[in-house]
Structure 1
Amino acid sequence: MIGQSIRVGRIRGIEVGVHYSWFIIFFLITLSLTTRFASEHPHWSLAEHYAVGIATSLLFFVSILLHELAHSLVALAKQIPVRSITLFVFGGVAQIAREPDRPLTEFQIAIAGPAASALLWVGFGAAAALAGHRFEHVAALAGWLSSINLVLALFNLLPGFPLDGGRVFRAALWHFTGNLAKATRIAARAGQVVGYAFIVFGIWTGFTVNWFGGLWFAFIGWFLLNAAQESVLQVSVRSALTGLTAEDVMSSECATVAGDRSLGDLIEREVLRTGGRCFLVSSNGRIEGLVTLHQVKTVPREQWSRTPIHAVMTPLDRLRVVGPETAITEVLQMMERDDINQVPVTRSGRLLGLITREHLLRVIAAHLEFGDRPPVRAPR
């Protein structure tokens, strides 16, 4: 999601971004708060209504950021990398690089977010009480933020994955069953139930109370439903690939082209005839790097005939490589994290094969089609 976001900075090495959809909800919340404050405090000026509304809306999203940051800091303390935090239309999400290694760690990471929101509920509530009538603007701002942080904490504690409460539920199931995949499936099914419940409640609210509120509840339910379904798919993929290594999946028949050939020749004689999208580049029998169709497209078409392949290739020493014994789940995580489509497999500096995203997706599809079963290793 961070790729579709505006980067706003880094906190403890974690990249923080604002998704484009955030501006929609920021505008709607600001408008709603301005209307609310105008109704509750008609003696304020128009400028005061908008100023307090905008400030409250901004602090609301700061609260969400602190909620996600709490998850992230606990994950970092447990030596689990965190890729990014992104604010978007439905709140925020912290992208943690890998699953926790034990149920207690999962519980600690999950509960940190609601705990942070609960602390903000108490903190803003105390600020509102202290402000009183002397600082009416602060009291109004802090009062609303206190209430919304309580709602945020309680909502996230619903026992449906991937909500925080669903992760706590998964941690408990994992502890009692000893099986993360099974725990994830059950917790995700609970998440789907919660999603459907929100959709039904949203439809009912839309027809009987308020169409906009109902629509919003239905959208939240739709989001939870899709997130839960995606979680089931992800755990199925991880389960299907468990036990496979880079050596099992790599292709040892990689097309090789000479680096002094032109890009035009590569397209004409290789790409259009074989459909290949990436090629190893050699010179005097030695592998020098890798060239992809994406790299070729960065060069204007009229320059293809006079641009050699080695001018656009990625040198071998700059490629992300893995050893043959590397778990394929780690290779998949690396592809997703670094947004790469090809990973060479090497041993002692010698190229053994290549793993492409396209081939890996076919392997995943085959394992999902025939069920989760231990991989059968062919003799080499």
Structure 2
Amino acid sequence: MHPASARPDPAGPPASGPAPRKGSEGWNLGSIAGVPVVLARSWVVIAVVITLLFAPTVARTAPELGGPGAVVVALSYALVLALSVLVHEVAHALTARAVGLPPTRIVLTLWGGHTTFASEASTPGRSFVISAVGPASNAVLAGLGALLVLLVPFGGLAWLLLTALTLANLFVAVFNLLPGLPLDGGRMLEAGVWKATGDRLRATVVAAQAGRVLAVLAVLVLLGVPVLRGGSPSLLFVAWAALVAGTLWTGASAVLKDARLRTRVAALRAEELLVRAVGVPADVVVAHVARSADAAGAQEVVLLAPDGRPVALVDRDAVTRVPQERWPWVQASSVARPLRGAPLRRDAAGQELVHGLAAAGGHPEAVTGAEVAAVVDGAGHVVGVLRGSDVVAAARARP
């Protein structure tokens, strides 16, 4: 699978650390080149499916292994597939780091894996290279495995394992080159459309829709081949086809949903969503705050540091709890809450607006709705306040 951009993650234990420990996502396996590696719990499902699928074949090919031995060898196929996916994701991670995109985590999942980054590739060329290197690494391993298969006795345990290594990497390489998201081939298609049109969001939508088409084709092909051969697919094979198609459809749909949300976000403007505010010195009393708001016709009041920086927002509910006769003596700072991060410009829009607001909330990966940021004009004067809840509501309301 292609790497995905995500929130920054803390570093895991070193590769030489203690035994894998179970976390919220799964089991932390340590790290490779400083990148934490996690084995998701869902991987157990694919391991069971592969073992059940290949144990009969192994038993027929090497009857001397016996039933338990065939199961162990079939299970090793799942381990070889996991190793192939890990090589694939490490190739993504190291290439991304080389082009200035630091990886934060590698996760091995039910169907493949993914690598997360702190940000996205800034150009279609970088995105294409990061995507292509994963399948390329598996193609190289498949070639090496094929050469080694020729050097060992046919039908033995070494032959079985090397054959599994070759086929697993060939499968991972070819499957991931299919042109639809969330596969690497989909990212490569996205990069090509992005380069041709200059519109990344449109490119993402095209590649995601292609991923949905692939999901439908996967069902038709996987279930249609046994029928064309005059037989019928087994229940286990039907489950396998559903797993493949479901993973493709779900991944493509998630990317498509995200692209549509980004399209809505791109239309957001701070000046359209802000609540009018006025800035006053931080050392004033509540009475001064009330007079300033009335004089400016503002709904909110922002307290300013001596250098003019917005530092706090007066809490209107807290003001109402102060008896009015005490307003001339109560400091406004005692009924205000701090503002984090830098203020937003009045002309901030799209992702710039979202990133600035998220940083003001102290969690730069997303807007949750609880954020508040001051908004300033070109001269740095406070003109309003922007709330995360208003931004989220506006994004959801746009068609």
Structure 1 length normalisation: TM-score?
0.70
- Summarize the alignment of residues 29-178 of structure 1 with structure 2, pairs less than 5 Å apart: 29-46=50-67, 48-133=69-154, 136-178=156-198
Equivalent positions of 1:17-36 (< 5 A) are: 17-36=38-57
**Aligned residue pairs: how many?**
316
1:209-228 matches, within 5 Å, as 209-228=233-252
The alpha-carbon distance between structure 1 residues 287 and 198, as it changes in their structure 2 partners (threshold 3 A), is: farther
Q: Is the 8 A contact 1:199 1:219 kept in 2?
A: no
Letter paired with 2:26 = S
Check the 8 A contact 2:138/2:170 in 1, yes or no.
yes
Gaps of 5+ in 1: 260-264, 266-282, 291-315, 370-380
Q: CA deviation at 1:72?
A: 1.9
Cα drift, residue 247 of structure 1: 7.2
Counterpart residue type for residue 355 of structure 2: E
- Residues 321 and 344 in structure 1, CA contact (< 8 A), matched pair in contact too: no
Deviation at 1:179, TM superposition (A): 1.5
Shift of the 124–331 alpha-carbon distance from structure 1 to 2, 3 Å rule, reads farther
More helix by share: 1
Distance apart, 1:161 and its partner CA: 2.0
1:328 maps onto 2:353 in alignment: yes
The CA RMSD measured in Å over matched residues stands at 3.6
Q: Tell me whether 1:286 sits opposite 2:306 in the alignment.
A: no
Q: Is the 8 A contact 2:357 2:367 kept in 1?
A: no
Deviation at 1:158? 1.0
In structure 2, what residue type is equivalent to 1:28?
V
Compute the displacement of 1:209 (Å).
Answer: 2.7
| CA positional deviation for 1:339 | 9.1
User: Shift of the alpha carbon at 1:118?
Assistant: 0.5
Q: Taking structure 1 as reference, are residues 175 and 284 closer, same or farther at Cα in structure 2, changes over 3 Å only? A: same
What's the % identity of the aligned pairs?
26
CA contact 2:43–2:109 (8 Å) conserved in 1: yes
Change (3 A) 1:129 1:223: same
CA shift at 1:61, angstroms? 0.3
> Retained in 2: the 8 A contact 1:320–1:343?
no
Verify the 8 A CA contact 1:246 1:323 in the aligned structure 2: no
SS, match of residue 114 in structure 2: strand
Shift, 1:321, TM fit: 3.4
Q: Which amino acid is 1:73 matched to?
A: L
Question: Rg bigger for which structure?
Answer: 2
What is the CA deviation profile of residues 252-309 of structure 1, one whole-angstrom value per residue up to 9, with x for unaligned ones?
75784999xxxxx9xxxxxxxxxxxxxxxxx96437997xxxxxxxxxxxxxxxxxxx
Assess if the C-alpha contact under 8 Å between 2:355 and 2:364 holds in 1. Answer: no
Q: How many Å separate the matches in 2 of 1:154 and 1:202?
A: 15
TM-score (norm 2): 0.67
| Contact 2:369–2:390 (CA under 8 A) maintained in structure 1 | no
Q: CA deviation at 1:116?
A: 1.1
Which 10-residue stretch deviates more, 334-343 or 230-239? 334-343
Which secondary structure state, in structure 2, belongs to the residue aligned with residue 92 of structure 1?
A: strand
Q: Is the 8 A contact 2:62 2:156 kept in 1?
A: no
Q: Distance in 2 between matches of 1:35 and 1:287?
A: 74
> Shift of residue 6 of structure 1?
3.0
**Contact 1:202–1:215 at 8 Å: present in 2 too?**
no
Q: Structure 1 residues 353 and 332 mapped into 2: Cα distance closer, same or farther (>3 Å)?
A: closer
TM-superposed deviation, 1:99: 2.9
